């Protein structure tokens, strides 16, 4: 009974010693379904959805390839824009997806894992926003990847679990109260290039 944990530690060390390591660069398009906004003006509450616009992401990855599965941490810069009543809100954040993938058939795989989001800035065109207080958020992603030699194509869905809220101070110079929730809820299409 006491040998079981030792066996699993040995098996884990053996798997990492035979893992193939790959690294590269990646980028893609983000299609964020935006977020929600709550305006308070003259004692009247107005709730609405932000209209999404596409964005982009750029970054790098490392992949530890095992027999049937792989582990792939990524670090990427993401910029996404949203709109509300003609005002644009730009969100800049760092994302750290940690994927565990399963090789399904030949170059095709599926993957799932947690994602950490770190808000760098959010700026509004016509909207005066207070700085985000809680800049970190966690989420989940799921997707599929097709690898053709050194080039990889993937599509994934990402959802943030907790809100990334900022307070609205004014709208086009008029003092206003309210909250904007820009938690990630997006589909991304990505392209990666293996460098080694």
Domain ranges within the chain, ordered by starting residue: 21-194
Q: Tell me the two tokens of residue 164.
A: 């990334």
CA distance 137 to 61: 20
Q: Which residues contact 175 (CB under 8 A, 6 or more apart)?
A: 169
Closest by Cα among 72, 87, 60, 58 to 21:
72
Is residue 66 very low, low, confident or very high in pLDDT (cuts 50, 70, 90)? confident
**CATH top-level class of 21-194:** mainly beta
Positive or negative CA dihedral for 61, 64, 65, 68?
Answer: negative
pLDDT at 141: 96
**C-alpha triplet 34, 139, 184: angle, nearest 5°:** 10
pLDDT at 116: 92
Is residue 185 very low, low, confident or very high in pLDDT (cuts 50, 70, 90)? confident
For residue 115, report the phi and psi dihedrals to the nearest 5 degrees.
Answer: -130, 130
Q: Which helix (H) or strand (E) holds 137?
A: strand 136-148
């Amino acid at each position: 009974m006491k040998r079981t944990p030792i066996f699993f530690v040995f098996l884990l060390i053996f798997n990492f010693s035979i893992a193939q390591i790959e690294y590269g660069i990646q980028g893609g398009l983000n299609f964020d379904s935006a977020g929600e906004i709550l305006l308070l003006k003259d004692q009247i509450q107005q709730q609405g959805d932000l209209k999404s616009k596409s964005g982009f992401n750029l970054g790098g990855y490392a992949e530890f390839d095992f027999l049937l599965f792989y582990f792939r941490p990524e670090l990427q810069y993401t910029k996404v824009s949203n709109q509300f009543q003609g005002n644009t809100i730009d969100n800049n954040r760092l994302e750290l997806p940690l994927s565990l993938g399963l090789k399904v058939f030949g170059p095709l795989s599926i993957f799932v894992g947690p994602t950490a989001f770190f808000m760098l800035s959010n700026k509004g065109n016509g909207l005066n926003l207070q700085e985000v207080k809680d800049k970190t958020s966690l989420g989940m992603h799921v997707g599929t990847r097709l690898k053709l030699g050194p080039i990889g194509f993937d599509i994934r869905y990402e959802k943030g679990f907790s809100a990334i809220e900022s307070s609205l101070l004014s709208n086009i110079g008029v003092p206003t109260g309210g909250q904007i929730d820009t938690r990630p809820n997006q589909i991304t299409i990505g392209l990666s290039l293996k460098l080694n």
